[in-house]
Homo-oligomer: A and B are copies of this chain.
Amino acid sequence: MKGYLSYLILWILNKKTMRGAEIGRELEKRRGTKPSPGTIYPALKELKNVGLIAVDDQKIYSLTDKGQDELKSACKFFCQIFYDMKEMSDFGE
């Protein structure tokens, strides 16, 4: 179950700008386990490199316009793949 972390970061940053450590804590709340520094910072760096997020001088990460667009299309894509997603919430009971 890999591959969702970057999009989860975008999803989180879309709600609120955060510092790296805060993102880590938010991920821990959601996933149960806290991602290691070797996970989160390379991920942030990559997202920054491709222009989806930005960092200011206070190390506060935020979503760029491009990041918003990307997130939007990712959500669309996801909802298309799991168009029967509603059953999923029920399936877990």
Binding site for B on A (CB under 8 A): 1-4, 7-8, 11, 14, 30-32, 71-83, 85, 88-89, 91-93
Contacts and interface: CB of A to CB of B under 8 A. Distances in A.
30 contacts: A1-B7, A1-B77, A2-B2, A3-B3, A4-B4, A4-B81, A8-B81, A8-B82, A11-B82, A14-B91, A30-B80, A30-B82, A30-B83, A31-B80, A31-B81, A32-B80, A71-B91, A72-B91, A72-B92, A72-B93, A73-B92, A75-B88, A75-B91, A75-B92, A76-B92, A78-B88, A79-B88, A79-B92, A85-B85, A85-B89
Contacts of A3: 1-4
Contacts of A71: 91
